[in-house]
Structure 1
Amino acid sequence: MTSSVRILVGVDGSPGSEAALEWAIREAALWSAATGGADRGAAPTVTALLAWTADGLPTGVLRAATQGDRDGLTRAATEMLERAIGRVGEPPAPVTLRRGVVQADPVTALTVAAADADLVVVGERGHGPIHRMTAGSVSQGVVHHAPVPVVVVRPSKDGETPRTDDRRPVVVGVDGSDLSLAALRWAAHAAAVRAVPLRVVHAWGGLDPMYSEVLVGAQGSLVRQAENVLAQAVKLGLDDASRLTVESVVSPDSAMRALLREAREAQLLVVGSRGHGGFTRLLLGSVSHQCVLHADSDVAVVRSDRLRAPADEPAAATGAAVPSA
């Protein structure tokens, strides 16, 4: 993966979106430092995008709606974006921060802009028509529709001190499917740039309790099969894990229970958008959906691990093109 990563962030002035912006800036800096991007002049890019519509305006923009025309709303949205950036702070060199303000549905705007990004980052919740839902409609919509990996960031809890040197592992769920291998490769890179362990989890439980006696008798075989699936996934997904500490976990629990438990001690949980085998219901709307909703850590949902720019492409050609008003 290249240092000239392009990260798109949805910003709406909420604490959740500001946590997402802070996470994205930190991530871009990690990528650059780990791959020597500054030495090669390949600057990573973070694009902060604020999208607004009349039926779901952020609070600050809504206040201006009664006082001005569309130009006034656009100015208010732009000012809100700048205030959010001001609270988070400008990124360190060589990370480049870009701004975008559009009048559009946030999910649509982020999904369209994601075509020119390597990663989309959203807050757990924010302002909007149904912001009262846990992991609100915008984050869920982007997770479902974005063509690139999406990270849903949890805001810091009240009274929680931000971690300056987070040594917790990156956790990834695998089942041997192509998408879970893509998730594994993506998670390996995330662990490598952080210099933390990669914990690879395969769960074989959660089977029908009606056949509990059969399962008890076959437990040894199931465990061996699960161990083989995990070992094969690691072999296929990690071509060179020499710089990683890889921890393997085979769990008799259901996929959801195993991943949520591991996420309690993780800084990032990575799942594929769907799978098979031990993660037979690893589909958006089930396991990955539940992880986005309930995991204690930040969650990355991976559709593909491909980057859109080859490793030797100049940074100038990798910027996300987002219309600004």
Structure 2
Amino acid sequence: MATAPVEPPRRLVTSLGSDPAAPVRAWLAALPSAVHERLDAWGLTLERVDAPGGRSSLVALVRQQDGTPATLKFPVPGRLHAREAAVLRLWDGWGAVRLLQADEASGALLLERLQGSVSLRSLPEARALLEAAGTVRRLWVAPAADHGFETLSDRTEEAVEALRTAGALTPTAAPLVEQAAELRRALPSSATEEYVLHGAFRQGKVLAGERAPWLAVGPVPVVGERAYDLAALATDRFEDLAAGSGAAAATRRRVAKLAESLEVDRDRLRDWTRYRAVAAGVRETASGDRRHGELLLEFATWL
């Protein structure tokens, strides 16, 4: 039923082009055929492939047989995206985009259509944080005994290794990297709560919708404490804080306000925020964005 051509967006190709893994290269090469196969199987009409799109998935705007708009998503295959369909089913549209269909073999997801160009980042910072807090609160649910999601403890050693590998390319950040590695090891084992978390929550992951004003997308589900989810939100738009006067004090106020509004332990939120800022900072620096990376590392010191 598709007539428009399917070509992976340049941003996706560039993002994955340096990955030497043969499965990733094979996935990229097979994407056009995989998209057309899903369009035919689900009776969809392709409008266009979203561009510039993301760095870890192909997104296409489609119409269902009754004309209802929807979004077809093909995440990069791998462990991080393996449970996206499962967590979307768990939330069933409560605070998050609604899953319409999923194909386990290809990883394809058919989702309700949201306004992809309108995220919380379009709002003033104070309003964006308020809406983000209200959205993420809906996503935090108690895990079932047989939930099947990874836990923060499961990911600890891998996260520490990735942090130190990237940090080795930034020798001046060695003290921060070591402190962040110790936090990453200690925090999961000392947590006193467990929730199903979005795992990658930030303002850009909350889009405008019709069924609800704001809905979360792009989860990388993990089970752990709520402070982990809030930590990425605490670092959001950190450039705005850096551009103002009293950046360190403003950063600490933001963390305190988020902790209070969602009844999360402030010290644990501060520690998770420090870890996630350092991890992101050394990763950005290692990938070549030294200015952005160094600013993230400076942000970590403000906490």
TM-score range, shorter chain: under 0.3
Higher-helix-fraction structure: 2
Q: TM-score normalized by structure 2?
A: 0.22
Q: TM-score normalized by structure 1?
A: 0.21
**Greater relative contact order (Cα < 8 A, sep 6+):** 1
